[in-house]
Amino acid sequence: MGIEIERKYLVNKEKWNKVSKPEKHFYRQGYLLTEPDKTIRVRVTDTHGYITIKGHSIGISRTEFEYEIPQKDAIQLLDNFTKSVIAKVRYKITYKNKLWEVDEFLEDNLGLIIAEIELKNENEKYELPDWVGQDVTNDERFYNSFLSINPYKNWRND
């Protein structure tokens, strides 16, 4: 069984804009199933397709199974079987020997930037880059599955 242990943070846009960024990658993803205790996601990247099944979060951990599928199949699944799709640009940045994935959301979630770090265990220590802001790990509004049906443009004045 795969386990994902992850923390999620808002990004300070002013500081982020000053960062020298690596190559960006376009992601489009949608959900075949979105329930409180499980999601099934289809993702298309610049070159690949994936299907991912995630279980209920306990703390910052949850079960995760991800499988590569043909990109054409992933596109067809997104176009024909998902009700909610999000688009984003992802940057992978190493800071203090830890990989950070920073997502700049597009379309209905434009303006939202979230950084994620995957950990080996829930108590693992790491340093935050100066462009990392508020921890939103446990705020369901920032889950990609939530953003796909309740986009940032509808609640950014909260």
| Predicted local confidence at residue 129, as pLDDT | 98
| Predicted local confidence at residue 146, as pLDDT | 92
Q: What is the DSSP letter of 1?
A: -
Point out the residues that are catalytic. 31
* pLDDT tens profile 28-38: 999 999 988 89
Checking if the pLDDT of 23 tops 90, the result is yes
| Predicted local confidence at residue 156, as pLDDT | 53
Tell whether the torsion through CA atoms of 98, 104, 109 and 110 is positive or negative: positive
Is 27 within 8 Å of 79 (Cβ atoms)?
no
| Predicted local confidence at residue 83, as pLDDT | 84
Go through the domains of the chain in sequence order and give each one's CATH number: 3-154 (2.40.320.10)
Mean pLDDT of the chain: 94
* pLDDT tens profile 95-114: 999 999 999 999 999 999 99
